[in-house]
Amino acid sequence: MEREFEQLTDREILASIDSALDALTDDRLRLPTDAEQLSLLRDVIRLSGRLHGFEQQLAARIEKSQTVWNERRTSTRTWLAESMNLTPREAARIIRAGQGLARFPLIGSATLVGVVLPVQAEAITGVLAQLPKEFDDNTIIEAQGLMVGFAETHNSAELRRLTSHLIEVLSPDTADRLEAKRVEQQERRAQTRRCLDFTGDGDGSVLIRGSLPIADAEPLMQIVEAYAAAQKRGLERLDPQAEYITPAMRRADGLIAMVAAHSRRQVAPRNGGDRPRIVITLSHDKLTKHCADAGLGASLVRDGHPVAASVVRRLLCDADLLPVVLGSYSEPLDVGRSVRLVTPAIRAALELRDGGCIFPGCDAPPGRCEAHHVVPWWAGGVTALRNLVLVCPHHHGILEPSRDPNADRWKILFRADGIPMVVPPRRVDPAQRPRIHARLTTRH
């Protein structure tokens, strides 16, 4: 069979593989034992890896020969991205992986025969590229053989950590000196690669992608982890509808809390004469009459992205208002002064009374809390101590009223002496008994 395929062109071989895959459908999958199904999955991953390795090396050969430039007068990355609907980053990664396999042919050959998976190969070529320039060709060939052997027992993450070990094996007498030099070079590369990008995903989120040198990233990770650890759930853990929070989600919450704390203290440098702030634009009618509606029609000024009504309701609890009079063609005619809804005096009284988030079980201090209007400002609620409580950002989202006044949700009531109480929804407590934070009961 192999000799028959040798007579075919590459395109004809790929057409044969394509036809075979057409025949490989779910309705003909008749494996009598679990063991056979597991074996089939391993074979599929191995076969897919071989094809992926061929794809990468083909892309690298095309890049090296300038085929795309000769044919289309554009770069390989641009052509690949446009013709296959890939992002430029995805196209570049295919080419870069193929170039690594071409640079270290033993790894390329191992990938083509399925001994090394593409993700392992990418890790291995990254390790080999960091080896000291003092190593001659024979030493590099030896290193490739060692890494192919390691691939039998190590995954891609583990393979990436083998650089130091590889240097010790290949050059034990000079390992310390070479390793020190390698680490210095690695630090210089990390500095040149540092970056931070924010990209909208088109579905209401912003993708954050970046790279920092290890020593510079460590404080950031420690601070975010500290904020994440402080994001403790309170009474709502009893709620069957409460969101399950993964460690990654908790770190995201920690980053948000860190930025919120930075913003509250107003320690950021001024930009354009003003402190950094989120700016939302919406008409006065929508603000006062339709804020309880789902179709709010608000948007961010910076990029015009629409903002959910629930988010605007939360932001309005403790926001600056900047009235702007518009002409018939929406041109600004007059801009009024920004007025703080919660004054410093009220904020101080809130912190003195509540001592932090009032949600039972939450220990967020006042500095990490937001002022929440129990009766929303947009619904006629006053900005007064009798209508305000301190809540952390997490519990603010839980307590913020929805557009349905009869919804089974968490609520706030005030005791006769002005102490705030949290009322659980019926799904948590059918009797809806008010709960008071232990901090408040102890104090009063």
Cβ proximity of 337 and 321 under 8 Å: no
> Around Cβ 419, how many Cβ atoms within 10 Å?
17
Query: Measured between alpha carbons, how far is 310 from 376 in angstroms, rounded to an integer?
Result: 12
DSSP notation for 154-223: --HHHHHT-HHHHHHHH-TTTHHHHHHHHHHHHHHHHHHH-EEEEEE-SSS-EEEEEE--HHHHHHHHHH
Angle 213-81-102 (CA atoms, 0-180°, nearest 5)? 65
Q: What is the pLDDT at residue 264?
A: 63
Query: Measured between alpha carbons, how far is 383 from 345 in angstroms, rounded to an integer?
Result: 12
The string of pLDDT tens digits covering residues 72-112 is: 888 989 899 888 898 888 999 999 999 999 999 999 999 99
Cβ proximity of 425 and 239 under 8 Å: yes
Ranges in the chain, pLDDT < 50: 270-276, 290, 292, 294-297, 301-303, 325, 327-340
314 contact partners, CB below 8 Å, separation of at least 6: 396, 397, 400
Query: Measured between alpha carbons, how far is 170 from 139 in angstroms, rounded to an integer?
Result: 7
Q: What is the pLDDT at residue 111?
A: 93
Q: What is the pLDDT at residue 274?
A: 40
Query: Measured between alpha carbons, how far is 259 from 67 in angstroms, rounded to an integer?
Result: 48
Cβ proximity of 364 and 400 under 8 Å: no
Domain ranges of the chain: 2-195, 344-443
- For the entire predicted model, the pTM comes to 0.49
- List 306's β-bridge partners, or say none: 299
